[in-house]
Every structure is written in structure tokens, then in C-alpha cells.
Amino acid sequence: MESICVWGGVALQGKVHIQGSKNAALPVLAATLLTGDSSYIRNCPRISDVHAMVSLLRELGCEVNWKEDGVLVNPAGICLGEMKSDAVRCMRSSLCLLGALLGRCGEVVMEHPGGCVIGSRPIDLHIAALEKMGVSFAVEGSRLKAVVKRLHGAEIRLEKPSVGATENVILAGVMAEGDTILHGAAREPEICALCRYLENCGALIEGTGGETLAIHGGRTLYGTDYRVPSDRIVAGTYLFACLVSGGNILLEDAPASEMESVLRLCEQMGGHVCISEEGIYVQGPAVPKAGGYVRTAAYPGFPTDLQSVALATASVAEGETVIEETIFENRFRIVEELRRMGAEIEVLNDKKVLVRGVPYLTGCEVEAKELRGGAALTVAALRAEGRTTITGCSYIYRGYENICRDFKELGARIISV
């Protein structure tokens, strides 16, 4: 399934269940390494990034088995912290295994982590933080080696709220001797999900959800039964799809409390939102309104992972929208592809674009160059005249279980080929 074909012009109707969160599931799976016995991770999304993480865990000696509603992980067989798989190079989130393996084995050898091409994404913050906990790093060719005799608590201040660095400090901190105080921690809901899992296992973490975390290390951790929360980025993608195409949809089990900035922009662009116990009900306008000034920011600001989808929505909105990207420096790779479809987008600088909405886009062949941009092209195709073919869809499958099935359930004319 390397391509997706969409015939636009159909308003979405119906309901769709929101899958488990990619960005929560991956660090939680890494954290299972720190427990003394098996953990059952429910609502784990069946996406390529999770399958890659499962492969890495198996290579490290874990017993991992998929069940009907989740994945069972037994880490008892781990003895080495060496990751040989190519999955490390293609999946940025493999970096969260660094803190977990240091806590479990005291040594890690891994390829430099990869993922989507959306900027340099340096790991300096991870290294500087872990060095304060006693870890020594060395580069051996294309591989990174990290060694620690005994992790110890430390007072750490992050220069910026990095999600990955926060996760690694938490994972190492729960296994360290003494307390680790982390200032400038990322506040994303996925960080809270990781803390909740570890607390269920017996860890003691104070300040969850805030900028300062106190991680009390040295406690014995046990396996647990844990449910991964729903994916706020997938929910946001489908919400904007309703704005683009029109119609009425119910996003079942969508995490509304984690989506305040997204819901505000939705309403600003003409959508009507109603939150209930079932999820989020969205009524799309006949034509979306311009978004004004949209600026990405660390949580609770507007998420960078939905910037491309907001850009696609603005391209068919009435009026002008300015979008500023503050997290990654290469998030506008979708611009040329949208222009091929007839969008009017002016690149003001490497961090800012001006979008002048047009009534409709025109179907053609476009290429997904990264995960969120690929999903955004699929959303844009819903309002394009004729057929749009999206290639490079392996990127999309890294974060969406089955975007074609979900849109088809809402009435879209879409197939994977």
C-alpha cells in the first residue's frame, strides 16, 4: 500500500473511533524494560512505528506478544543494551530506549536515531541531561555508546522543553539512586501518560503535568495493566478533515481535554464543536474561514504535529492565514505539493507562510515527504476536484493505523493501492 487515491468533493458524515496515541505508546513500551515482570499495554496502536519498537524490544531479549486489545511485554530476558536493528535509524522515538536501557543495563550502543526529515532534531539536550546523572558518551563511527556504572539523581535544567529529553530523564531517574529534579520539563500529555504508567508500576514522581518534576529513584518497579490514551493528533487530523470537506462527524474517544488549542482554531475557522462523554462532535462549515495567525508552540500551545493539517485547511479557507512554525525548521515541505494542487501559499521566511485560500484544489499526483505532511495531503485531497494520488504513504502508516479505512467509514471516496 504505497499510494492513496482520493476522489474529492464528499462531505464527511458518521463516526470514527480514535486510535491509541503513537507518542504515548512508544515511551511506555520503552518503560516496560524497567519492570520486574510483564506489563499489558492496552489500546496500543498497530502502526509501523509501534511494530518497529516491538521488533527492537524483541531484539533486546523481551518476549512481546500482540493480544486482541493490546500488547504483552515481558522484559525478563534482557541482558544487553545493544540495538542492532535498522529500526533505530528510521524511527526517532527509538531514542527513548536510551534512558530505559541505561536504567536496566547500564550500557547502550545504538545507531543515531532517525525518523521524519523535519529538521536537524539534535540530541544534545538528552546527552547533557544524562551526563549529569553519571552517564559517559562516546561516538564510535555511526554509533552512539553510553555507559554508566551507577545512575544517580541530579538537578537538571533543560534549555527548552524537549519531549524526548524529558522522557529520557524520567526513565533514567526512576532507576537512579536519590532524587532527580527536572526544571523546564515538557508538559505534553504524552509525558503525563508515561508518568502515570510508571506510577502504576510503583514509581514516585511529583509534579506531573508541570514544568518541574521530582523523580524519586531507586524504587522497585513491577509490571502493570495500562491503557494508552487516545491520539490527540489523529483526532485533530480528522477534525480538520471535517472543516475541509464539510459535514458532521463524531470523533469517538477523542481526548478533548488535551486539545484546547486545536478546538479553538477549529471554531475560529467556522467549525462547531460539542464535547460529550462519547468524544467530540464536529460540524464543518460549507467553507472554512481563515485562521488568522496560527503559531505552533510547546504544549499547551498549538501542536507542531498539526501544523501541516492546519495549512492544508487554510488553503481552502475564505481569506488569508499566516502560519508560523516555532518547533522544527523544516515543517513546510508540504508547500510545494499543495501548490501543485492549486493552493496559493507564499513562503515569507523559513518559519512563516502566508496562505490565501482558494475555493477548491485540483487533484493530481503528490508525494508525502514526512508523516504529518502526508496526512495533510490526504486531508487536502478531500476538497480537490478529480482524483488525487498520494505517494510515499509509508510515512503516513507510521502514525495512522488505517487512514483510508477511517475516512471511508466517514463516507470519503478513498482507496489504498
- The string of DSSP codes covering 401-415 is S-HHHHHHHTT-EEE
Q: Which CA distances in Å does 94 have to 197, 335, 341?
A: 18, 29, 35
Q: What is the CA radius of gyration of the chain?
A: 21
Cβ–Cβ under 8 Å, residues 404 and 415: yes
Cβ–Cβ under 8 Å, residues 6 and 413: yes
Residue 264 neighbours by CB under 8 Å, 6+ apart? none
Q: Which of 385, 19, 53, 378 is nearest to 233 (CA)?
A: 19
Q: Which of 44, 116, 242, 266 is catalytic?
A: 116
The single-letter DSSP state of residue 113 is P
Burial class from Cβ neighbours inside 10 Å (0-12, 13-18, 19+) for residue 68 reads exposed
- The string of DSSP codes covering 188-209 is -HHHHHHHHHHHHTT-EEE-TT
Amino acid letter for position 170: I
* Active-site residue flag, 116: yes
Strands (E), 127-277: 136-140, 143-147, 155-157, 179-183, 204-206, 212-216, 225-227, 247-252, 272-275
Cell 524519586 belongs to: 216
**What secondary structure, in 3-state letters, does 285-297 show?**
CCCCECCEEEEEC
Amino acid letter for position 272: H
Q: Which amino acids are annotated catalytic?
A: 116
